[in-house]
Amino acid sequence: MARRIAAGAAYGGGGIGLVGAAAVGLFLAEVQLAKRSVGSGSAPVPPPGDGLYGMPLSGHTGLPPLRLGMLGDSTAAGQGVRRAGQTPGALLASGLAAVAERPVELRNVAQRGAMSDDLERQVTALLRDPARRPDVCVVMIGANDVTHRMPATQSVRHLVSAVRRLRTVGAEVVVATCPDLGTIEPVYQPLRWVARRVSRQLAAAQTIGTVEQGGRTVSLGDLLGPEFLANPRELFGPDNYHPSAEGYATAAMALLPTLCAALGLWPESDRLDASRDEDMLPVAKAAAEAASAAGTEVTGARGPWALLKHRRRRRLPTHPNTEPTPSEARRA
């Protein structure tokens, strides 16, 4: 199914139904219940996190700052937390600065409520100034596509176009694929099963499209997956939908190794480790495996093959040199 979605996106196919029409009547009532329950709490507006991170590191190498771009929806923007340093962009910029031992300039163009069709506008905004084009970009998108029932082929087509534009200007791209919406606490069966199935199929199709354009993906089952299911009060924010500060930190820890690997900074090689169930698989099979295993990285290898990686996570740095301060972080 994921391959059909990706192929439909590549060749201009129409929407491919992910769930049979007979299933619709079973969960219509629960859709209405979930709409009343999810998002009913108050989620803070995402704080602006644009700026320079790791400024004290600038004297270590004399190299110019790395440029990190964040694109996507409210999760990429950091909705649900009150401090800029708690947003995923700030967490990734701080972690990247610590690993690279050089400052990182963050530009976040993500938009609350955005679907994949907003990525064209976001990429244009990010690339407007040729002198500030990003070295690496993180895209977090897909949840709103599912909840607003955007056809999967259309969703993937917009993502592929965005990845292609970013790769064309030389930026590395890491896509955090659609999270598992079946783990949202107020969602019940059979809607939970449908949400999980649709989310995973879209995530797999996003992986196929991204890898074929030279990007990397990380499955975000960790964002709304087993850890969140076990600790919903700690890892979900007040609206029961967006992550809390602890939730964003969990997601950032899953993304940081791949972000660093894309820039050649991570000490681990791309050699496969069989003890961690790493493998070289056809892209479609790797995408399906990743969609069901949180935190899995997929990157292109040769031809139709892809590497399935489970990189070791490390805690985000807490050294003061990597924490932004009002004097170090400036609006971009």
Confidence of residue 314 (pLDDT cuts 50, 70, 90): low
Q: Is 161 a catalytic residue?
A: no
Task: Identify whether 74 is a catalytic site residue.
Answer: yes
pLDDT in tens, 226-245: 555 555 554 454 555 577 77
37 has catalytic annotation: no
- pLDDT reading at 15 higher than 60: no
Which is higher by pLDDT, 329 or 264?
264
Q: Do 58 and 260 form a contact (C-beta atoms < 8 A)?
A: no
pLDDT of 323 higher than 70: no
Strands (E), 16-96: 51-53, 66-72
More confident residue, 151 or 184: 151
| Residue 180 near residue 221 (C-beta atoms within 8 A) | yes
Catalytic residue selected from 50, 73, 74, 180 = 74
Domain ranges of the chain: 2-9+44-322
Q: Comparing 38-52, 97-111, 120-134, 147-161, which segment has the lowest mean pLDDT?
A: 38-52
Cβ atoms of 73 and 112 within 8 Å: the answer is yes
Across 101-115, 147-161, 231-245, 305-319, least confident range: 231-245
pLDDT-based confidence at residue 276 (cuts at 50, 70, 90): confident
The answer to whether residues 2 and 217 touch, using CB atoms and an 8 Å cutoff, is: no
| 15-19, 142-146, 237-241, 254-258: segment of lowest average pLDDT | 15-19
Alpha helices in 169-264 (DSSP H): 191-212, 221-224, 226-230, 232-235, 245-262
Reported as a single tens digit per residue, the pLDDT across 174-222 is 999 998 877 665 555 666 677 778 888 899 999 999 999 999 999 986 4
Lowest-pLDDT choice from 15-19, 272-276, 277-281, 314-318: 15-19
| pTM value > 0.85 | no
Percentage of the chain surpassing pLDDT 70?
A: 68
pLDDT on residue 146: 85
The single residue of 94, 116, 145, 242 carrying the catalytic annotation is 242
Q: Using the Cα atoms of residue 314, residue 315, residue 321 and residue 326 in order, give the sign of their dihedral.
A: positive
Predicted pLDDT at 229: 55
CATH superfamily, with its number, for domain 2-9+44-322: SGNH hydrolase (3.40.50.1110)
**What is the per-residue pLDDT for 119?**
97
State how far the Cα of 267 lies from the Cα of 22, in Å rounded to an integer.
50
pLDDT surpassing 70 at residue 109: yes
pLDDT for the residue 186: 56
Higher pLDDT: 329 or 219? It is: 219
Residue 307 has pLDDT above 80, yes or no: yes
Mean pLDDT of the chain: 78
The string of pLDDT tens digits covering residues 23-48 is 434 444 454 455 555 444 455 577 78
Kindly state the average pLDDT of the residues 307-313.
83
Residues 6+ apart with CB under 8 A from 15: 151, 152, 153, 154
Catalytic residue among 37, 117, 239, 279, which? 239
